[in-house]
Structure 1
């Protein structure tokens, strides 16, 4: 069976490399990280962003930082202590991916040597850059900066290390096991009260995890309910509700909150009050004090006894309550009386998208939420998705939806990447696409700018295809360590060349989209030489690294002028 798993995994890798030439040179590393990381419900783009590019990787192939199970991107602002609940969990997840058919002492020795320095806060980033590549140091810096910023909130720090190979975990020898346990102790000792975990993932685990299909049918036990038509109001114990919103390992099912309008807001006053009411044994019943949660689903039915079975679950209101319940109860003794408290759950059974959107908006009016925060459910976003589908492309406005359906990765475009393509090619702002991908759409004005209803639908698809064309070209011709800083500047140049002028509004691209005109390899090669020449000259003149140059606006007019625009 073990040898069969290896054959099947190798076949999966071949198919993925053929489907996604952009990932071909890092296909095993991306695949390994995808199967290893179980926190945060990450999209493929988020997985790719965590994979280390270039040399100097210190035997580490993937770095991911989570604060209370939310992924922190390199470009995110460092969290403010005031926004972080006391005792929050800061998780650094490292992945080492080796194609060998075994697990070796050498691999763990190298990782131990690297992490000993990388996790030493007395080591400056400048000193680390002398030993390791910029990509690795920058990703670790996200963890170091966050820890330093929130240290007064007494965070619980955890370092996980996933060692992935094509070997068999049943055959790991005792010396390798011992070094893994040593590494766990080293991780834990780095931080007061810290936790260290090392896991081995081999061919059998890779096959099992990659072959799992997420179920969007969940069961919710209840104590009492009222039914009207096909929808329900139920009282649910907090123990059962916690089981409903969590995976088997105790982490939140992030995907069931995808249509909520806000992320968790941490230790704000209302969440502190929710937590206090949960844990105060003398407080009135929890459901008397809390508005409860609202769930939409495509089908709801009882499955014997007092249990609802729900298809396509989305918690559209109650994310703050859900997160706070999870934060408050996850570390409590299972016999704590709070688990027997009740929460009110509204279950709205509807397949009608417009009805669901009205519910989302109406149930969130009690707090000030910009309409732009609802962009995944906007009519324009649904139109973009429908237009992409007509052309056999997949617009992932519902994160991971098409990935879970098994659609080709190179034809799936998420909202963040399309926004980056719009910034780079539609507005000649490659620096914005590079420097703040996770925050491009945070403000209502930015959302209206990038996703204007006046932009023709074919232009959105053209932008997605052109960005894929550029990325595929770079994957074949440029070292991984340079691609991130070059991709959006090259995309801007390619759009300007095809149009014959700098682009300042995506509507200018209408004719190109109607004609289906895209850059060929020869054109991109010439533009890449121009970009590298101008990059090197500007870096020399400014005495600055291109990583910093690519994130600022000053280089853009210089580059466009050099290209004749």
Structure 2
């Protein structure tokens, strides 16, 4: 079977790379494939996987670096890094994970690879290391990913997080035939990770074709069974009382991790150690508390079909649209006890679950809105269900593009990766090209729409739908241009400047700077964008201005790219004029 697994994995990687408008090399495609499936349980989007890839030289033996708090991917603009109240609301003991991936197309696992990772981590995990010294040894992107982890750790110290440092070593070799010397080096690396901090634990895993095939061929299940104690049925929908033990089973995958993908349509992320969640925890831990379902508003599930047989509901296309805080708090508070003491009395207590059956997406959206209007959710948090979002999705579908307002919805359907556009990516494209703020697009990848004012500007009903599609196409063209230049660019250059190049392309079409989407109406109608020769000229000018600006200010590339001052400097010096950035 091992030879067949290798053939199947090679075929999957080839099909994935060839489905792209600009195919990657097999090695680059394998790196992304390995990162995606090493982190299979997190349900990362294509853009989230890509953001953690470390490209080019000086990668320290690492092809991917990701940081998670609980089950959530952290970004450089995540609240906990900038808002002390957000950090203080993180539940005590929450796990902070640094996940490292190395992917090689070789047919073996080597000691040298583990030695290189050990050396890299020894240096980059040193909290006293000077960044100027690190820059001599390692790529900017690699340093930035470790900085994100160290910053998060230091911000969360008062919350006493647990720390997991995990290394996934991926090759086309057999994971069950790793040489004893390599296994011994893996144990040493685990010990090094465990000793890095007082609260850290280290793990090393070997992934070969068999493991990759198993993960790659397993889509997240949206069809689940839910046992119940009692239920009321009206039509095809139900209100059920479910034992807490059964509900924890319902939420957990085979490893005991919560199934985050069934919360994709919820309007809010887990809020951590906020008052309402502390009250839920207190009631769970108090054996004398009233019945749990008396004190809790319960869970709302929407699904396309529900079949009840012998007090078990089989639910299709499951999404939990209200009750995320309750679900996560239950899971966080009781999961370990449930694995060791499943007969504890607490697990026979009940939670109320509403199961609403409808295949009508508009009806589902109405349920999401209605159930969440009853709590203090900011308007911008409901963006995925707004009319404008559904209109954009419909318009994209008409043109065989896919607007992923429901995270990974089209990816799980196997749609062409290059034509899937997420809400965050479209927002960044609008901000960079239509509003003239590539600095914000670069600086705020995950927080761009937290301001209601920014959301209304980015997703305005005054903006014509063809402009949104044009912006997505234009950003793809810029990214493809940068990926196919004869002279490869560094990962840091791409991360810092691809939105700036997109802005210059749009500005050049219009002939001057602007900050209103309607300036792009004609370009969208005619479906035009600067040709590769023009993009090459703009790119060279951008690099020259970027270098000059850094020298004049004495700033590093990250700070310069996130600066509105640089945007004004750039457009003024290139003769397009200037606008106030904020």
Contact 1:129–1:137 (8 Å) recurs in 2: yes
Shift in Å at residue 4 of structure 1? 2.1
Contact 2:69–2:97 (8 Å) recurs in 1: yes
Matched, 1:479 2:479: no
Shift in Å at residue 447 of structure 1? 0.8
Aligned counterparts, 1:38-117, within 5 A: 38-77=40-79, 78=81, 80=84, 81-117=87-123
Structure 1 residues 82 and 23, CA gap change in structure 2 (3 angstroms): farther
Contact 2:40–2:215 (8 Å) recurs in 1: no
Partner residue of 1:556?
Answer: 567
Partner residue of 1:514?
Answer: 525
TM-score between the two structures when normalised by the length of structure 1:
0.97
Hey, what's the Cα distance between the residues in 1 that align with 2:514 and 2:106? 48
Q: Which stretch of structure 1 is more off in the superposition, 84-93 or 252-261?
A: 252-261
Query: Out of 314, 318, 322, which is 2:319 matched to?
Result: 314
Hey, what's the Cα distance between the residues in 2 that align with 1:455 and 1:22? 30
Matched, 1:425 2:433: yes
Matched, 1:164 2:170: yes
Contact 1:125–1:141 (8 Å) recurs in 2: no
Query: Out of 323, 326, 341, which is 1:334 matched to?
Result: 341
Contact 1:473–1:521 (8 Å) recurs in 2: yes
Hey, what's the Cα distance between the residues in 2 that align with 1:461 and 1:171? 49
State the Cα deviation string for residues 72-123 of structure 1 (Å, max 9, x = none): 0123241633211111111111111111111011111111111122222232
Structure 1 residues 29 and 480, CA gap change in structure 2 (3 angstroms): farther
Three-state SS of the structure 1 residue aligned to 2:513 is coil
Hey, what's the Cα distance between the residues in 2 that align with 1:261 and 1:213? 23
Query: Out of 438, 441, 444, which is 2:446 matched to?
Result: 438
State the Cα deviation string for residues 147-206 of structure 1 (Å, max 9, x = none): 111111111111111001111112211111111122112211222242211111111212
Hey, what's the Cα distance between the residues in 2 that align with 1:405 and 1:68? 27
State the Cα deviation string for residues 183-238 of structure 1 (Å, max 9, x = none): 11221122224221111111121222212223221111111111011110111111
> Considering only aligned residues, what root-mean-square deviation do their CA atoms show, in Å?
1.5
Matched, 1:391 2:393: no
Three-state SS of the structure 2 residue aligned to 1:331 is helix
Hey, what's the Cα distance between the residues in 2 that align with 1:349 and 1:75? 37
Partner residue of 1:24?
Answer: 24
Hey, what's the Cα distance between the residues in 1 that align with 2:554 and 2:128? 27
Matched, 1:2 2:2: yes
Contact 2:402–2:419 (8 Å) recurs in 1: yes
Shift in Å at residue 250 of structure 1? 1.6
Hey, what's the Cα distance between the residues in 1 that align with 2:143 and 2:536? 30
Hey, what's the Cα distance between the residues in 2 that align with 1:23 and 1:69? 31
Contact 1:223–1:235 (8 Å) recurs in 2: yes
Partner residue of 1:355?
Answer: 363
Hey, what's the Cα distance between the residues in 2 that align with 1:180 and 1:167? 16
Q: Which stretch of structure 1 is more off in the superposition, 161-170 or 1-10?
A: 1-10
Contact 1:424–1:433 (8 Å) recurs in 2: yes
Contact 2:161–2:199 (8 Å) recurs in 1: no
Contact 1:498–1:518 (8 Å) recurs in 2: yes
**Aligned structure 1 segments of 4 or more residues deviating by more than 4 angstroms:** none
Structure 1 residues 120 and 537, CA gap change in structure 2 (3 angstroms): closer
Hey, what's the Cα distance between the residues in 2 that align with 1:367 and 1:72? 26
State the Cα deviation string for residues 4-32 of structure 1 (Å, max 9, x = none): 22222222222222222557152121111
Hey, what's the Cα distance between the residues in 1 that align with 2:208 and 2:120? 23
Three-state SS of the structure 1 residue aligned to 2:163 is strand
Contact 2:220–2:261 (8 Å) recurs in 1: no
Three-state SS of the structure 1 residue aligned to 2:373 is coil
TM-score between the two structures when normalised by the length of structure 2:
0.94
Hey, what's the Cα distance between the residues in 2 that align with 1:165 and 1:389? 37
Hey, what's the Cα distance between the residues in 2 that align with 1:22 and 1:87? 44
**Alignment: residue pair count:** 564
Segments of structure 2 that go 5 or more residues without pairing to the other structure are: 577-582
Partner residue of 1:227?
Answer: 233
Hey, what's the Cα distance between the residues in 1 that align with 2:235 and 2:409? 29
Hey, what's the Cα distance between the residues in 2 that align with 1:316 and 1:541? 51
Hey, what's the Cα distance between the residues in 2 that align with 1:544 and 1:23? 35
Hey, what's the Cα distance between the residues in 2 that align with 1:210 and 1:374? 32
Three-state SS of the structure 1 residue aligned to 2:122 is helix
Three-state SS of the structure 1 residue aligned to 2:290 is coil
Partner residue of 2:469?
Answer: 461
Structure 1 residues 128 and 349, CA gap change in structure 2 (3 angstroms): same
Q: Which stretch of structure 1 is more off in the superposition, 11-20 or 315-324?
A: 11-20
Contact 1:94–1:160 (8 Å) recurs in 2: yes
Contact 2:224–2:318 (8 Å) recurs in 1: yes
Query: Out of 136, 145, 150, which is 1:144 matched to?
Result: 150
Hey, what's the Cα distance between the residues in 2 that align with 1:287 and 1:126? 56
Contact 1:23–1:475 (8 Å) recurs in 2: no
Q: Which stretch of structure 1 is more off in the superposition, 103-112 or 540-549?
A: 540-549
Partner residue of 1:278?
Answer: 284
Hey, what's the Cα distance between the residues in 2 that align with 1:120 and 1:242? 38
Partner residue of 1:532?
Answer: 543
